[in-house]
Amino acid sequence: MKKLLIALIAVALLPVAAEAQEYVKTFTAQQQYDAQYKEAEMKYAFEEYKGSHKSWHKKFYNELEELLGITSLKERYKNFVPKAELLSTEDIGFATRERWQIWTEPTMIIPMVITRPKNCSGKMPICITPQGHNRNPEVYSGVIAVKGDSLAIATKDADVALRAAKLGFIAINPTTRGFGKTRHPDAVRKDRPHSCQYYMQRGILTGRTLIGDRVWDVMKIIDWALENLPVDTDRIVVTGNSGGGTVTLYAGAMDRRITLCAPSSCFCSFEASIGTIHHCPCNHIPYIMDLCNMGDIAGLVAPRKLLIINGDKDNIFPIGPAREEFKTTKAVYEAFGVAENCEMYVGDGPHRYFWAGFSDYYKRHF
């Protein structure tokens, strides 16, 4: 009996044979990436947390905030107060167009255009419109400055801030960090429209992400607006297209003061969009797929109002995977009991803003 026991122990201690490995016969880069995406942990995939959505929301929020670099920014600048200077004022008929610059960090100055409707009194809704990859940061405010602006306004609703002002908002059109006057000197010298790669590469050296920095800018603009503008705190709206939509989505997830988040032409699954199709480096966040997919991030806006805007012919955020990813977001809103606050508008067209979707949602919900 003793010999049998020793034999059994010896067998148990033998090394376990490794599972047979499957090796590809030919290499393709996409095959390698697809394998990585399948192995991603997706720690906060909402489908794994059904029944405990409030716990999911709190834990996920904290980890995403830290991953974006916002937690460390809050600690570093806990006593920082943003300040702004008015540079010029222009009468455009129904409104005044004001050009400002705002310090969102002691060393970061963001230009912004504020379009303020005339003959308005009392508290007013504000609409912050972070720009996408436009050469002209002021095209959202209806300013025509470079070739293509007129066409973009006429066919792609690119003057979203001007339209918001006509709808009754105080519209704030900030230059997105890395564009316009915030570009790196090399980009200015080479006449490149943005400096996203410069900011991204240098930021990760100190644990920052460009998306996190841009969200921080939106948060500081809200801080300043609440102190200096007649803001209706029940109607703080953020909306933007493409890269501006990405900033909008993450800002809505991170800043609970935002009452309507309406990202345009930026929503899809990671693996079907920025993980497969060429995008600017500013879209990428290290380790993001170990936390979640994009539908989970949109779910962090719950229970506040959310409108996802996509084009059915968008070739960099394909509509099929976008619709599938939206099912996750909708499930979060259903768990919170406010499914009516979450909608997806699909426009007939390519990668662009769809004002009709936004204005219809806003008029129905507010």
Average pLDDT rounded to a whole number, residues 294-313: 98
- Judged against a pLDDT cut of 70, whether residue 201 lies above it is answered with yes
Burial class (CB in 10 A: 0-12, 13-18, 19+), 129: buried
SS (H, E, C) the chain: CHHHHHHHHHHHHCCCCCCCCCCCCCCCHHHHHHHHHHHCCCCCCHHHCCCCHHHHHHHHHHHHHHHHCHHHHHHHCCCCCCEEEEEEEEECCCEEEEEEEEEEECCEEEEEEEEEECCCCCCEEEEECCCCCCCCCCHHHCCCCCCCHHHHHHHHCCCHHHHHHHCCCEEEEECCCCEHHHCCHHHHHCCCCECHHHHHHHHHHHCCCHHHHHHHHHHHHHHHHHHHCCEEEEEEEEEEECHHHHHHHHHHHHCCCCCEEEEECCCCCCCCCCCCCCCCHHHCCCCHHHHCCHHHHHHCCCCCEEEEEEECCCCCCCHHHHHHHHHHHHHHHHHHCCHHHEEEEEECCCCCCCHHHHHHHHHHHC
Q: Is residue 9 part of a domain?
A: no
Strands 231-241 and 124-128: parallel
**Could you report the per-residue pLDDT of 116-169, keeping only the tens digit for each?**
999 888 999 999 999 999 999 999 999 999 999 999 999 999 999 999 999 999
Cis peptide before 303 (omega within 30 of 0): yes
Domain containing 253 — which CATH number?
3.40.50.1820
CB 92 within 8 A of CB 108: no
Q: Is residue 17 part of a domain?
A: no
**Residues 12, 3: Cα–Cα separation, whole Å:** 14
* Complete edge-to-edge strand list for the sheet that includes strand 170-174: 83-91, 95-105, 108-117, 170-174, 124-128, 231-241, 260-264, 305-311, 342-347
Mean pLDDT, the chain, integer: 94
Q: Is residue 30 part of a domain?
A: no
Per the DSSP assignment, residues forming a β-bridge with 85 are: 101
Token pair, residue 349, equals 């067209």
Average pLDDT rounded to a whole number, residues 208-218: 98
Average pLDDT rounded to a whole number, residues 22-34: 91
pLDDT in the model for residue 364:
97
Domain limits for position 169: 39-365
pLDDT in the model for residue 148:
94
User: Backbone phi, then psi, for 183, in 5-degree steps?
Assistant: -70, 155
Q: Is residue 28 part of a domain?
A: no
Q: Is residue 4 part of a domain?
A: no
pTM of the model: 0.93
Q: Is residue 330 part of a domain?
A: yes
Q: How confident is the model at residue 95 (pLDDT cuts 50, 70, 90)?
A: very high
CB 137 within 8 A of CB 179: yes
* Residues sharing a CB contact under 8 Å with residue 128, sequence separation 6 or more, in sequence order: 172, 174, 218, 221, 222, 236, 237, 238, 239
CB 132 within 8 A of CB 220: no
- Judged against a pLDDT cut of 90, whether residue 13 lies above it is answered with no
Q: How confident is the model at residue 18 (pLDDT cuts 50, 70, 90)?
A: low
Domain count, the chain: 1
Q: Is residue 15 part of a domain?
A: no
Tracing tokens 């493409």 back to the chain, one arrives at: 242
Q: How many CB atoms neighbour CB 48 within 10 A?
A: 10
Higher pLDDT, 274 or 9: 274
Average pLDDT rounded to a whole number, residues 180-195: 94
Average pLDDT rounded to a whole number, residues 330-353: 97
Q: Is residue 18 part of a domain?
A: no
- Judged against a pLDDT cut of 60, whether residue 110 lies above it is answered with yes
